[in-house]
Chain A
Amino acid sequence: MTELKPTGPKRKKKSDYQNVTGYLFISPFLLGFFLLTLYPILYSLYLSFTDYDLMSEPNWIGLDNYVRMFTGDETFWQSFKVTLMYAGVAVPFRLIFALLVALALNKVVEMAGLYRTLLYLPSVVGGSIAVSIMWRQLFGNDGAFNSILALLGIPTHSWLGDPKTAIWTLIVLYGWQFGSSMLIFLAGLRNIPKTYYEASSVDGASPIKQFFIITLPLLTPVILFNMIMQIIQGFMAFTPSFVVTNGGPVNSTLLYVLYMYRRAFEYFDMGYASAMAWFMLIIIAVLTGLIFKTSKHWVHYESDSK
């Protein structure tokens, strides 16, 4: 260190200049981050302790919103329950489906690109309003789904009108948009060295055994990634329940974010909605943390075993 001292100041100046250029170049991003991300996030935290109604000045009311949320609002718990059920069923459903399709596609050699595109398509138009409207038509009383049932002589059903089945149509919709997880699985599958399979077939392992002993363990990092992304997405789902069922019947499809939206913009209850948003943030953080914690036990990284 000491022998560098004489040249120090000069060098420092140069790197100083380089740093300035660097910071200058990232400053638009930093500015965007502070103004459009960090500031709104912190402001919403502040709002969650106020009675802000979008139009008049917010008043500090302490923990009232949180107290009301946990003790005085049945609809809040209903929406929370629906969302847990939605994410809890739809996410595994989508992941398993995506994995199965990825496995099948991995075997296809001819026109693989075309199949991949076709299967990815539902996810491209995924969250859009158009798909949700189509879903509403498909499962409506006079919709295509009932028409097919009628043709087969199976009794038709009011899928969207029955509180027991409405949420399932949304879950199927979620599963159907499996494209992006499927592509990631596919990339993971391609990464598994062929030699493993060759060696194991020499030893006489069946394809099913190969799947459980080679494919699945080596795929666990990808599964972890997909799982976390999908859980976050599942909790934040809004469009399907907003467009297909509008939360009904009898709040059986009232997803958390839809209820939050209603509180904020329909009932001018932005303070409360902010509190809801923060509760959701904590729930997602805890869930993600838990999954990471357990991942030690089931996620295998190749580098670990070496």
Chain B
Amino acid sequence: MRWKPKVMKTMALGLVLTTFLAGCSSSTGSSSDSKDGKTKDGKVELRMTWWGSQSRHDQTQEIIKKFEEENPDIKITSEFTGFDGYFEKMAAQAAGNNLPDIMQQNFGEYLNQYADKNLLADLSEYVEDGTINVDGVSDIIMDSGKQGDKILGIPTGTNALTAFYNVDMLKEVGVENLDGNWSWDEYVDIATKVHEKTGEFGTRLMEPKNLFEYYLREKGQKLFNEDGTALGYKDDKLLSDYFELNKKMVDAGVAPGYDTIQQIKGVEDELIVHGKAPFDFRWSNQATALDSASEQELAMTLLPGDNNREGMFLKPAMLWSVSENSKHKEEAARFIDFFTNNIEVYEIGGSDRGVPIKEEIRNEMASTLSDTDKKVFDYIEMVTDNSSPIDSNYPQQASEVLGALQEVDELVMYGQLSPKDGAKEFRKKAESILGR
């Protein structure tokens, strides 16, 4: 009993001592990130993060080097990962109030999530005073980075869903050049023929996260309602039809089941890359990765559907955002300006982050485009003429709802749920998530 105060006293002493020691080491250790975030030689230091493939990492580092050459007062340290894990890492940094100055941000649920929590800086003033020059960028594109009247992200480029197809494999069954006018029935028909003729798969299983929304839009429906509090479509038959369409092909061996899909790690691994399936539906900026990995001749067209003008939309490939806690917002804005306005950036990166948002850059690049980039530019032009505006009513919990859709899709494709029950199950899950 008697020793208790003594223990407290000595422990307090020890505490003071160790905190003192710890304090010393931390103040000497972080010399580069001292009070005003400047390096020893007076440069402003910016932290920047992005996700992507190896080729993107290499390109981006080259772009950063160019930027530092032209802006000797700024030094950029970069952190990058694949898409898996990126937002988990950002969440942890946000919790620690330690978001990077410049971050690659994703349109939709992620942007909305960060916006709701006031974690992103409003870039309006830098756009107004010309630090970020967006002259000639269409309003539709700029809107995608807006929340209310705040500009929270500048798009790196434009993207659209694409039906990639293998020209030679389609020729084998007598289909020359798809022009984007094709129904779902025709799609299934071609896929089945290719499967019967070649013995390979006739298509790749559609990823529900991106494609069910397209499927709904093409039928004049939305995934979420206006204020993002519930699902946007009323009739479960829409989802059960979608499941049915895919399930039939899986059962017939025309499309692979999840046991095959699960083996695919990364775009370079996709069936279409190895000539094992003629179709693959994914984002247009992935053409670079597909083409460079594949020896097949791949072409791009609109997704199937009688109404694909309604279904198709342009999406910002990704956004550049500045975090609210950044001490150097202006310097960060200068980088974004460099990224959107410097032709050299696109000479290095091509269409990997989408087609440039500025027309003058697109025109300037036209003469020197690689074959792949030319294909992507043409395709985006085609979508621009054949599309309707994107739905930006994604609720905060959207990523969880889409996760549930993925889960149900697996259950249905494995045959553990019928398409009809799957559609009901998804509604039940989505409602419980959105109602929380």
> Hey, which bits of chain A sit against chain B, CB under 8 A?
16, 19-20, 23-24, 26-28, 30-31, 53-56, 68, 72, 75, 140-142, 158, 160-163, 245, 248-251, 261, 265-268, 270
Contact = CB atoms under 8 A, between A and B. Distances in A.
B258 A161 contact: yes
A28 B91 contact: no
A140 B258 CA distance: 13
B10 A24 contact: yes
Contact of A250 (B6, B15, B407): B407
16 contacts: A16-B6, A54-B94, A55-B95, A140-B263, A141-B260, A142-B263, A160-B259, A161-B260, A163-B416, A249-B262, A249-B410, A250-B410, A250-B414, A265-B87, A265-B91, A266-B88
Given A24-B14, A54-B92, A161 B262 contact: yes
User: Chain B: interface secondary structure?
Assistant: helix
Nearest to A22: B10
Interface in B111-125: 113, 117, 119
Interface string B197-230: 0000000000000000000000000000000000
Contacts, number: 97
A160 B262 contact: yes
A19 B6 contact: yes
Nearest to A133: B265
B138 interface: no
Nearest to B258: A249
B7 A248 contact: no
A54 B94 CA distance: 7
Contacts of A249: 258-259, 262, 410, 414
Given A72-B432, A265-B88, A161 B259 contact: yes
Interface in B42-96: 87-88, 91-92, 94-95
B167 interface: no
Contacts of A75: 407
Contact of A54 (B19, B95, B397): B95
Place the interface of chain B in its size category.
35 or more
B119 A55 contact: yes
Nearest to A72: B432
A234 to B, nearest CB: 24
Interface in B97-119: 113, 117, 119
B11 interface: yes
B298 to A, nearest CB: 23
Interface in B381-406: 397, 399-400, 403
Given A68-B436, A161-B260, 9 more contacts: A31-B18, A75-B407, A158-B260, A161-B257, A248-B262, A250-B411, A250-B414, A266-B88, A266-B400
A141 B259 contact: yes
Contacts of A160: 259, 262-263
A20 B257 CA distance: 68
A248 B95 CA distance: 28
A23 B7 contact: yes
B118 to A, nearest CB: 9
Contact of A268 (B6, B14, B91, B403): B91
B17 interface: yes
A272 to B, nearest CB: 10
Contacts of A55: 91, 94-95, 117, 119
A19 B113 CA distance: 53
Contact of A27 (B14, B94, B95): B14
B204 to A, nearest CB: 15
Nearest to A24: B14
B263 A161 contact: yes
B10 A20 contact: yes
Identify the interface centre among B13, B91, B411: most chain A CB within 10 Å of its CB.
B91
Given A158-B259, A250-B411, A267-B397, A19 B10 contact: yes
Given A23-B14, A72-B432, A249-B258, A265 B117 contact: no
A56 B6 contact: no
A19 B407 CA distance: 60
Given A161-B257, A250-B416, A27 B88 contact: no
Contact of B117 (A24, A56, A141, A267): A56
